[in-house]
Amino acid sequence: MPVAISAPGKVLLAGGYLVLDKDYSGLVFGLSARIHSISTPDPEAAGPGVITVKSPQFTNAVWKYKISCPDSDKGVVVTQVMEEESSKNLFVETTLRYALTYISSTTLITDFESKTITILADNDYYSQPTYPAPRFNHLNTPLSASHKTGLGSSAALVTSLTACLLATYIPPPASAPELRTILKQQLIHNLAQASHCAAQGKVGSGFDVAAAVFGSCVYQRFSPSLLEAIPEANTKGFARSLKETVDSPWDLQISKTRVPRGIRVVMGDVDCGSSTPGMVKKLLAWRTAHPAVAKKMWDELEMLNRGLIDLLESLRISSEEEPGAYSGALDAIRKHGWAHPHPHERCLTTLREIGGQIAAIRVIIRGMGEAAGVPIEPEAQTKLLDAVEGEVNGVLGGVVPGAGGYDAVAFLLVDHPETVGELKAALGRWNGGTAQGKGVTGESVKALETREEQEGVRREPLEGYEGFVSFA
């Protein structure tokens, strides 16, 4: 029986770096750009024990694995069958190893039915050569040469593949249609975090996997020690420890959130690139060397981020309790900017406060970056954010999301076609962005189509993949 699962990408609007510490939080929105994993029977399989994963949007993107379980305590062994022009895919391979080990420990299956799993990524994950591009556009490059837009492809991939493997191999009732209630999100989350963390080399707060599973949320991470306790894959005790850890309660904190109706997040792809691990290492080294100053900054930023979360929540409440006044305020700012005949009207005040809060957050972020010598909001991005905010009525504010740097920008704005169109045009016209030392001068910024979407991992109807996957 074929199974299709998708998981969303992410944008960390507030809380970059802080969210690495479990005492601080991150505001992360799930995105409509999803990565889909579709498992189908393998028509060419001579018997059980072969899983072929492929990403037909890329060249040389077929990864074939032999699956065996010689020692149940050490877990399932996943060995790539290397063929001419095979590449490695660490995230796929690790996810198979972890998910199949968990499944085997739970169900006692050792002979896994052979399957083909097709991975399809929505176009916004990679810079496209031409716009608009057809759905699941073929990029004519190997995956390693694609230009990622920073939407968290590895987390969405690991999450959808994990859920797809669970739904494929764990027999009913777990494979019944309602993924969320039966294949519990918590299980998908814990298992996907374990795989992602192992593949990533144990860095990262896990906010991207949390968004891929739960969708938009305020996230406080789990204790890193939870995963540190799991032995290396395929060593003594791996299977037992993985199962115990995944089935145990974790100390992460998730509270669901959403962008209020009438407001939209638009991401701009700067297509320049920054090294997140390098920035994280440098910033954390500075934090360790300057504990007192850093604590003050972290606490101040946390307070401002929490303030932003509260303001967005009160705007959401206004949008439901006073829809007329709310829509009027949105209309007014998109037409006239902040000049309004009733400046003290409640919704307008909240909208204004959101803009002010984002500006205050950016001040501290810049200070943090300067102090640590890490370009979290580089000057080129400051100019871009300020220029767009000044030019386009209806933009509440913009940030350099996640780790910051030269990769991307994200704006909160009134969700009206004219406002979105003006923002896209302003980004397209932008040519003042000189990333010093990066060799990029005067690049325009491409607005992505993706928007905030509240829902996390979900089962998808198979009809959506006709033409991309063979169900024969």
Ligand X SMILES: Nc1ncnc2c1ncn2[C@@H]1O[C@H](COP(=O)(O)OP(=O)(O)OP(=O)(O)O)[C@@H](O)[C@H]1O
Count other C-beta atoms under 10 Å from residue 278's C-beta.
Answer: 12
Tell which positions 436-465 bind ligand PMV, by CB under 6 A.
Answer: none
Instruction: Please say which residue, 204 or 433, places its beta carbon nearer to ligand PMV.
Output: 204
Q: Any contact of residue 92 with ligand X (CB under 6 A)?
A: yes
Minimum CB–partner distance for residue 59 and ligand X (Å): 12
Among 86-94, 304-312, 427-435, 455-463, the segment contacting ligand X (CB under 6 A): 86-94
Q: Which residues make beta-bridge pairs with 59?
A: 142
19 binds, among ligand PMV, ligand X, none (CB under 5 to 8 A by kind): ligand PMV
Question: Quick check: 3 and 457 in contact, CB under 8 A?
Answer: no
Nearest partner of 125 among 159, 149, 107, judged by Cα: 149
Q: Any contact of residue 4 with ligand X (CB under 6 A)?
A: no
Tokens coding 436: 């010093």
260 binds, among ligand PMV, ligand X, none (CB under 5 to 8 A by kind): none
Binding letters toward ligand PMV, positions 6-45, x by CB under 6 A: ------x---xx-xx-------------------------
Q: Any contact of residue 150 with ligand X (CB under 6 A)?
A: yes
Among 136, 207, 238, 411, binds ligand PMV (CB under 6 A): 207
148 binds, among ligand PMV, ligand X, none (CB under 5 to 8 A by kind): ligand X
Task: Describe the strand order of the beta sheet including 408-414 as a list of residue ranges.
Answer: 395-399, 408-414, 263-269, 446-447
Q: Any contact of residue 89 with ligand X (CB under 6 A)?
A: yes
Instruction: Please say which residue, 41 or 273, places its beta carbon nearer to ligand PMV.
Output: 273
Q: How far apart are the C-alpha atoms of 78 and 103, rounded to whole Å?
A: 14
Q: Any contact of residue 280 with ligand PMV (CB under 6 A)?
A: yes
At 413, give phi and psi (nearest 5°): -150, 170
Tokens coding 121: 């990524």
Residue with tokens 């604590």: 295
Q: How far apart are the C-alpha atoms of 286 and 316, rounded to whole Å?
A: 37
Instruction: Please say which residue, 82 or 203, places its beta carbon nearer to ligand PMV.
Output: 203
Q: Any contact of residue 205 with ligand PMV (CB under 6 A)?
A: yes
Q: Which residues make beta-bridge pairs with 77?
A: 68
DSSP secondary-structure letter at 59?
B
Q: Any contact of residue 195 with ligand X (CB under 6 A)?
A: no
User: How many chain residues interact with ligand PMV (CB under 6 A)?
Assistant: 14
Nearest partner of 31 among 459, 387, 454, judged by Cα: 454
29 binds, among ligand X, ligand PMV, none (CB under 5 to 8 A by kind): none
Q: Any contact of residue 13 with ligand X (CB under 6 A)?
A: no
Give the CA angle between residues 420, 155, 97 to the nearest 5°. 160
Q: How far apart are the C-alpha atoms of 53 and 99, rounded to whole Å?
A: 14
Secondary element (H or E) of residue 168:
helix 153-169
Instruction: Please say which residue, 105 or 154, places its beta carbon nearer to ligand PMV.
Output: 154
Among 403, 423, 448, 469, binds ligand PMV (CB under 6 A): 403
Q: Any contact of residue 270 with ligand PMV (CB under 6 A)?
A: no
207 binds, among ligand X, ligand PMV, none (CB under 5 to 8 A by kind): ligand PMV
Instruction: Please say which residue, 170 or 376, places its beta carbon nearer to ligand PMV.
Output: 376
Among 103, 121, 198, 414, binds ligand X (CB under 6 A): 121
Biggest CA-to-CA distance, the chain: 75
Q: Any contact of residue 64 with ligand X (CB under 6 A)?
A: no
Among 79-87, 344-352, 384-392, 399-407, the segment contacting ligand PMV (CB under 6 A): 399-407
Q: Any contact of residue 203 with ligand X (CB under 6 A)?
A: no
157 binds, among ligand X, ligand PMV, none (CB under 5 to 8 A by kind): ligand X
Identity of the residue numbered 440: V
Cβ partners under 8 Å of residue 439, min gap 6 = none
Minimum CB–partner distance for residue 19 and ligand X (Å): 13
Torsional sign, CA 217, 221, 226, 231: positive
Q: How far apart are the C-alpha atoms of 224 and 367, rounded to whole Å?
A: 28
Nearest partner of 15 among 213, 305, 265, judged by Cα: 305
In this structure, the chain runs to a length of: 472
User: How many chain residues interact with ligand X (CB under 6 A)?
Assistant: 18
DSSP string, 349-417: HHHHHHHHHHHHHHHHHHHHHHHHT--SS-HHHHHHHHHHHHHSTTEEEEE--TT-SSSEEEEEEE--H
204 binds, among ligand PMV, ligand X, none (CB under 5 to 8 A by kind): ligand PMV
Instruction: Please say which residue, 200 or 318, places its beta carbon nearer to ligand PMV.
Output: 200
Q: Report the interface residues with ligand PMV, using CB under 6 A.
A: 12, 16-17, 19-20, 150, 204-205, 207, 276, 280, 401-403
Q: Report the interface residues with ligand X, using CB under 6 A.
A: 55, 89-92, 119, 121, 143, 148, 150-155, 157, 208, 276
